[in-house]
């Protein structure tokens, strides 16, 4: 075990929250870093371990499934240890608790920083500074540390005080305006968090690059990743069309940014059976026409090129929609792929769990039942290394699960001091009474 | 360029042989190139197919004028090799030992036919190979193709994106592909890191489908939730923002839209401050029953909609920042390009191109204080570095001429 892990011996002092931050450090943990989540039992970080610290089953039922579909629809007494939204991004990490607002807690945090190689945070602006942990203080504890900040809109400029979650940051990055129906205003958009995913990966990559530089030169550094700026790189075509041609691109629905015609999502036979289809080339279109049985509407000579098809995109879409509506999604998917047309089902979460390809993919790793959740396939790292043991090595860290490891093994706190910190409420596996509403 | 060329780069000394094309693969190697890795882009005769996709510089099409190509290939070198020819194949084998990692995006069947599988490449030279495939190297969908839309449909959480009764929606642009590129970059750099620490090389496999299945954009959570609870995410019944029990969603204003979240508690108080309605801080607004009542909704609507309608996004965002309310404007890419604050921060840069001159480019995704992200060179013209790279690989001038004559290189 632990063979050839790239980041073996690297320690991360992890103040990250929500998805963007927690996934950034997760990628380092996946690659072998000892990633230690610093958790304050007197502070509830929104959208970090669960929707809420106290989550009665009926309330969970009213929240979206992805946010609050806990085991058996009952979050139980410790929602923070079994949230479907968050615990899987705490894989391969460790967790310890400390109230860093009190002097003895701050001293513990500083002693952890002193033996860490990375500090990552995306807390609300000013939180670390208020604790007395600005960059200078962090560097005083560990001069060659790599620091990652993930502000929403930057640490300088007029937008520093802008507050938001992924959905709001996606708005500024230009994601939201690009993803509605062509015939509806953006009011009908549902919230998505494309930027959280993108930012998390970029945060992980930037820290990895900075660690590589540090390994060669001994020099640490500070990384500032403004989430809205980073997320803009998801949409280079829109960005450069604006910069080069002064064009403000709006939503094109399910049509293709790359000019593929047809490109869309169509209802197949049955309820909620959707098929996505793209003709990425004229050859794919020809294969589709052949599969359709070369009906008259499809064999017009001008349809042989994407440009020609674009002029009749509405008509092509409505003919296809009528044809697909009468057919079985799975059969179309397999048949079209076999003849060389890019098509695939819109897989719901349920469909994924029954999908023969997903079920044999390395994307999942089964974890045995614990007190907090049943035996379940959890997401595993999305890259497989042939020699380094990059996998789901340890299950999601429960709140305070590694208190003993951090306080005793890493920091060498004495029995007596440990007992004192425990009595003082620093060392715990639950949240403080005021958080729990007790 | 606009950045300090003398500063060290984080990935100095790393060489990447980039055998990828289109979007996901080139984005992964662009990320490494912009952090200082040397990236040798091997293009097929005629070039990376992405060169045929717009937008175009000044709306004028051309293989060097593609915005997608220019963005995805900054800081790279280009050599054109026909890998189906013996000469092209040999040139590849002589370039491979220069690399710390080779990155490929060949479909498995193509890689097998051309002898370009990760194992075949690793048989030629002791290098890391990262393969980016649609569905991995095994399983029933192994040889299936993907577009950005089909990838998001199958891998991503398209199912719950959109309105009930209508078709599910994709993301904007080609976002699902750039996302997968970012994951591949972590894998590639992870492998190089393992080489530097442990002295080993290996293959790393990344599948687009798997990356999207584990996307934290509601996807990994939705799948976990189904496994845990049997609940699935549906597209919402009611399209549109909600007021009353919580002001959540996208709202129109004088010059566009803003998105806000003002649920009960501190966010509600900040919202009340933002719209300058201290009476909304009355304790009754903490009462769930009141918040859900039609009267509450009407009171909010009467206060909020006119307030928004009289103000621009800039004015509203400023009021939100002052009150720390959770709100942001919806920007188009043009808004982002023209925004003075992001401009001053340096989100945009310019590149100097040998034949096209200077043009604007979307800049850094992050700022590294000691090893700055930098564009040192615009995306290469097709085969711009063919001669220099062949010379580096040990070919003399006569051999290069012969390779060119045979069509193996260009």
Give A-chain residues touching B227 at CB under 8 angstroms. Answer: 84, 353, 376-377
Our count of domains for chain A comes to 2
Q: How far is Cα A63 from Cα A60, in angstroms, rounded to an integer?
A: 5
Cross-chain Cβ contact B321/A161 below 8 Å: yes
The reply to whether A113 falls in a domain is: yes
Give pLDDT, residue A384: 97
A67, part of any domain: no
DSSP one-letter string for B156-220: SS-TTSS-TTS-----STTHHHHHHHHHHHHHHHHHHHHHHHH----EEEEEHHHHHHT-TTTHH
Coil, helix or strand at residue A168 = helix
Distance of residue B53 Cα from the nearest chain A Cα, in angstroms: 6
Q: Which domain holds residue A45?
A: 11-49+86-233+385-436
Q: Are A202 and B365 spatial neighbours (Cβ–Cβ below 8 Å)?
A: yes
CATH code: domain of residue A152: 3.40.50.10540
Q: Which of A73, A233, A352 has its CB closest to that of B178?
A: A233
A228 vs A224, A432, B307, B347, CA distance in Å? 12, 34, 26, 10
User: Which residues, in sequence order, are CB contacts of B10 under 8 Å at separation 6+?
Assistant: A209, A210, A212, A213, B35, B36, B368, B371
CA distance A413 to chain B (A): 31
Alpha carbons A124 and B390: distance in angstroms, whole number: 52
Residues A23, A157, single domain; the answer is: yes
In sequence order, the β-bridge partners of residue B353 are B357
pLDDT (tens digit per residue) in B309-329: 999 999 999 999 999 999 999
- Would you call A190 and B209 a contact, using CB atoms and an 8 Å cutoff? no
**Structure confidence at residue B240 (pLDDT):** 62
Name the minimum distance, in Å, from the CA of B90 to any CA of chain A: 26
Same domain, A94 and A193: yes
Q: Are residues A430 and A328 in the same domain?
A: no
Q: Give me the CATH topology for the region B15-218+344-406.
A: Rossmann fold (3.40.50)
Q: Rounded CA gap, A390 and A32, in Å?
A: 7
Same domain, A302 and A217: no
What is the sign, positive or negative, of the torsion defined by CA atoms of B30, B32, B37, B42? negative
Looking at residue A145, its pLDDT comes to 98
| Candidates A54, A69, A217, partner chain B, best to mutate (most B CBs within 10 A) | A69
CA neighbor of A278 nearest in space, from A230, A229, A333: A333
Min distance B328 CA to chain A CA atoms (Å): 5
From residue B403, give the alpha-carbon distance in Å to each of B45, B85, B88, B97, B382: 13, 10, 8, 20, 16
Residues of B within 8 A of A182 (CB-CB) are none
Final residue of a domain: which of A338, A354, A370? A354
Give the Cα separation of B33 and B38 in Å (integer): 6
Instruction: For B247-330, give the CATH class.
Output: alpha beta
Chain A residue nearest residue B169, CA to CA: A254
Q: Is the peptide bond before A262 cis (omega within 30 degrees of 0)?
A: yes
Helix or strand holding residue A316 (H, E): helix A313-325
- The Cα–Cα gap between A333 and A345 comes to 7
Residues A339 and A284 in one domain: yes
Statement: residue B4 has pLDDT above 70:
no
Interacting residues of A378 by C-beta distance below 8 A, sequence separation 6+: A88, A91, A364, A365, A366, A367, A392, A395, A396, B224
Q: Give the chain A residue whose CA is nearest to the CA of B204.
A: A385
Cis omega (within 30 of 0) for bond into A202: no
Assess contact for B197 and B140: CB atoms under 8 A. no
Mean pLDDT, range B171-183, rounded to an integer: 97
Cα dihedral B393/B394/B396/B400 (nearest 10): -30
Give the Cα separation of B332 and A180 in Å (integer): 13
Nearest to A385 by CA among B176, B215, B184: B184
Q: Is A337 part of a structural domain of the chain?
A: yes
Q: Which of A190, A225, A349 sits opposite B235 (nearest CB)?
A: A190
One domain for residues A172 and A24: yes
Q: Could you give the CA distance from residue B22 to residue B72 in angstroms, rounded to a whole number?
A: 9
How many residues comprise chain A? 438
Choose from A91, A170, A229, A248 for mutation: most chain B CBs within 10 A.
A229
**Per-residue pLDDT at B237 exceeds 80:** no
Residues of B in contact with A159 (CB under 8 A): 317, 321, 341
pLDDT number for residue A184: 86
Do A272 and A398 lie in one domain? The reply is: no
Statement to judge: residues A177 and A225 lie in one domain: yes
Nearest to B168 among A175, A201, A346 (CB): A346
Of the three residues A354, A373, A406, the one that is the final residue of a domain is A354
Q: How far apart are CA A229 and CA B342, in angstroms?
A: 8
How would you write the pLDDT of chain A (438 residues) with one tens digit per residue? 459 999 999 999 999 999 999 999 999 999 999 999 999 999 999 999 999 999 999 999 989 999 999 999 999 999 999 999 999 999 999 999 999 999 999 999 999 999 999 999 999 999 999 999 999 999 999 999 999 999 999 999 999 999 999 999 999 999 999 999 999 888 888 889 999 999 999 999 999 999 999 999 999 999 999 999 999 999 999 999 999 999 998 999 999 999 999 999 999 999 999 999 999 999 999 999 999 999 999 999 999 999 999 999 999 999 999 999 999 999 999 999 999 999 999 999 999 999 999 999 999 999 999 999 999 999 999 999 999 999 999 999 999 999 999 999 999 999 999 999 999 999 999 999 999 998
Determine the pLDDT at residue B2.
43
Looking at residue A1, its pLDDT comes to 47
Q: B249–A158: do the CB atoms touch at under 8 Å?
A: no
B195 or B289, which is more confident? B195
Question: What pLDDT, on the 0 to 100 scale, is given for residue B244?
Answer: 61
What is the b/e burial string over A218-235, where b = at least 16 CB atoms within 10 angstroms of the residue's CB?
A: ebbbbbbbbbbbbbbbbb
CB contact under 8 A, B210 and A167: no
Token pair for A234: 């998801």
Closest-CA residue in chain A for B328?
A168
Q: What is the pLDDT of residue B332?
A: 97
Q: Is A139 found in the same domain as A43?
A: yes
Round to whole Å and give the CA distance between B353 and B96.
Answer: 28
Query: pLDDT at position A185, please?
Result: 85
Taking the CA atoms of residue A403, residue A407, residue A408 and residue A414 in that order, the dihedral angle to the nearest 10 degrees is -130
Give the pLDDT confidence score for residue B289 in this predicted structure.
Answer: 85
Residue B5: the pLDDT is 58
8-state DSSP, A223: E
| Residue showing tokens 């209802």 | A267
Whether A77 is covered by a domain: the verdict is no
Report the candidate in B158, B156, B160, B154 with the shortest Cα–Cα distance to residue B141.
B154
Indicate the SS3 state at residue B400. Answer: helix
Whether A238 is covered by a domain: the verdict is no
Q: Per the CB < 8 Å rule, is A229 touching B235?
A: no
Residue A202 in tokens? 């970029």
Specify if A246 maps to a domain. Answer: no
What is the reported pLDDT for A129?
Answer: 96
Write the residue in A193, A247, A345 that is nearest to B217 by C-beta: A193
* Share of residues in chain B with pLDDT > 70 (%): 97
Question: What does the mean pLDDT of chain B come to?
Answer: 95
Using the beta-carbon criterion (under 8 Å), do A192 and B168 form an inter-chain contact?
no
The answer to whether residue A65 is domain-embedded is no
Facing residue for B205 by CB, picked from A161, A245, A384: A384
Q: Is A126 domain-assigned?
A: yes
Q: Rounded to 5 degrees, what are φ and ψ at B3?
A: -110, 165
**In B, which residues are within 8 Å of A19 by CB distance?**
216
| Confidence check on the interface: ipTM exceeds 0.95, yes or no | yes
- Whether residue A211 contacts residue B231, with contact meaning beta carbons closer than 8 Å, is answered with no
Residue A274: CATH number of its domain = 3.30.1540.10
Please give the pLDDT value at position B241: 72
The span from the first CA to the last CA of chain B, in angstroms, equals: 28
**Do A404 and A334 share a structural domain?**
no
- Determine whether the interchain pair A258/B174 forms a contact, defined as Cβ–Cβ distance below 8 Å: yes
**CB A229 within 8 Å of CB B347:** yes
- The distance of B387 to chain A (nearest Cα, Å) reads 30
Torsion-angle region of residue B73: left (phi > 0), alpha (psi -120 to 50) or beta?
A: alpha
* Nearest-neighbour CA in chain A from B298: distance (Å): 19
CA distance B9 to B15: 13
Q: What's the gap between Cα B213 and its chain centre?
A: 16
Cβ pair A259, B53 in contact under 8 A = yes
Every domain of chain B and the residues it spans: 15-218+344-406, 247-330
**Residue A246 with chain B: CB contacts under 8 Å:** 334
């Amino acid at each position: 075990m632990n063979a050839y892990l790239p980041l073996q011996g690297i320690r991360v002092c992890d103040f990250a929250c929500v998805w963007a931050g927690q996934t950034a450090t997760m990628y380092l943990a996946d690659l072998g870093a000892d990633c230690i989540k610093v958790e304050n039992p007197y502070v509830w970080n929104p959208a970090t371990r669960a929707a809420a610290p106290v989550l009665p089953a009926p309330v969970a039922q009213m929240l979206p499934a992805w946010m609050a579909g806990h085991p058996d629809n009952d979050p139980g007494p410790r929602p923070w240890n079994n949230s479907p939204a968050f615990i899987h991004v705490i894989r391969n990490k460790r967790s310890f608790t400390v109230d860093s607002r009190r002097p003895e807690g701050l001293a513990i945090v500083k002693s952890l920083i002193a033996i860490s190689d990375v500090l990552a945070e995306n807390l609300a602006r000013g939180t670390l500074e208020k604790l007395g942990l600005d960059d200078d203080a962090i560097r005083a504890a560990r001069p060659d540390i790599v620091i990652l900040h993930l502000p929403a809109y930057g640490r300088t400029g007029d937008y520093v005080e802008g507050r938001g979650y992924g959905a709001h940051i996606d708005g500024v990055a230009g994601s939201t305006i690009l993803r509605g129906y062509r015939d509806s205003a953006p009011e009908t958009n549902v919230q998505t968090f494309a930027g959280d995913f993108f930012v998390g990966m970029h945060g992980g990559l930037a820290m990895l690059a900075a660690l590589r530089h540090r390994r060669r030169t001994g020099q640490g550094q500070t990384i500032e990743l403004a989430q809205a700026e980073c997320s803009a790189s998801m949409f280079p075509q829109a960005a450069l069309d604006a910069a080069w041609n002064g064009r403000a691109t709006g939503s094109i629905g399910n049509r293709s940014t790359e000019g593929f015609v047809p490109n869309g999502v169509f209802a197949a036979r049955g309820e909620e059976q959707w098929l996505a289809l793209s003709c990425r080339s004229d050859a794919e279109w020809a294969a589709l026409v052949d599969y359709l049985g070369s009906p008259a509407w499809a064999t017009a000579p001008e349809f042989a090129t994407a440009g020609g098809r674009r002029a009749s995109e509405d008509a092509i879409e409505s003919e296809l929609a009528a044809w697909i509506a009468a057919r079985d999604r799975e059969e179309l998917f397999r048949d079209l792929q076999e003849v060389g047309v890019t098509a695939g089902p819109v897989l719901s979460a349920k469909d994924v769990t029954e999908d023969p390809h997903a079920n044999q993919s390395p994307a999942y790793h089964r974890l045995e039942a614990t007190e907090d959740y049943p035996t379940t396939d959890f997401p595993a790292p999305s890259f497989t290394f042939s020699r380094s043991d990059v996998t789901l090595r340890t299950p999601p860290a429960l709140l305070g699960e590694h208190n003993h490891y951090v306080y005793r093994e890493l920091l060498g706190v004495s029995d007596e001091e440990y007992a004192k910190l425990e009595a003082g409420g620093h060392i715990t596996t639950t949240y403080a009474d005021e958080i729990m509403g007790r | 360029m606009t950045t300090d060329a003398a500063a060290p780069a984080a990935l100095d000394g790393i060489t990447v042989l980039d055998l990828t094309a289109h979007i996901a693969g080139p984005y992964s190697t662009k990320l490494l190139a912009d952090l200082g890795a040397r990236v040798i882009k091997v293009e097929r005769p005629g070039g990376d197919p992405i060169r045929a996709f717009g937008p175009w510089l000044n709306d004028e099409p051309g293989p060097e004028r593609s915005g997608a190509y220019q963005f995805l290939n900054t800081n790279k070198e280009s050599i054109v090799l026909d890998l189906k020819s013996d000469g092209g194949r040999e040139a590849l084998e002589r370039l491979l030992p220069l690399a710390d990692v080779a990155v490929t995006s060949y479909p498995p069947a193509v890689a097998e036919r051309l002898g370009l599988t990760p194992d075949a490449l690793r048989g030629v030279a002791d290098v890391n190979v990262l393969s980016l495939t649609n569905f991995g190297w095994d399983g029933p969908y192994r040889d299936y193709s993907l577009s950005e839309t089909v990838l998001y449909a199958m891998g991503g959480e398209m199912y719950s994106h959109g309105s009930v009764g209508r078709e599910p929606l994709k993301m904007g642009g080609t976002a699902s592909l750039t996302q997968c590129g970012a994951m591949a970059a972590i894998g590639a750099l992870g492998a190089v890191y393992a080489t530097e620490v442990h002295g080993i090389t290996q293959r790393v496999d990344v599948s687009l489908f798997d990356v999207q299945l584990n996307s934290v954009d509601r996807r990994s959570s939705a799948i976990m939730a189904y496994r845990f609870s049997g609940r699935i995410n549906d597209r919402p019944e009611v399209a549109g923002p909600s007021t009353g029990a919580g002001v959540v969603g996208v709202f129109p204003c004088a010059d566009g839209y803003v998105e806000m979240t003002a649920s009960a508690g501190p966010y509600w108080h900040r919202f009340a401050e933002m719209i300058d309605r201290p009476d909304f801080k009355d304790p009754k607004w903490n009462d769930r029953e009141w918040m859900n009542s039609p009267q509450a909704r009407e009171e909010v609507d009467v206060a909020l909609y006119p307030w928004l309608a009289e103000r621009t996004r800039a004015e509203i965002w400023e009021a939100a920042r002052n009150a720390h309310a959770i709100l942001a404007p919806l920007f188009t890419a043009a808004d982002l390009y023209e925004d003075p604050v992001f401009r001053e921060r340096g989100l945009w840069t310019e590149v100097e191109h040998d034949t096209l001159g200077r043009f604007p480019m979307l800049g850094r995704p992050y700022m590294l204080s000691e090893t700055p992200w930098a564009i040192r060179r615009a995306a290469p013209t097709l085969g711009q570095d063919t001669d220099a790279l062949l010379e580096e690989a040990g070919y003399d001038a006569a051999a290069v001429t012969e390779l060119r004559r045979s069509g193996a290189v260009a």
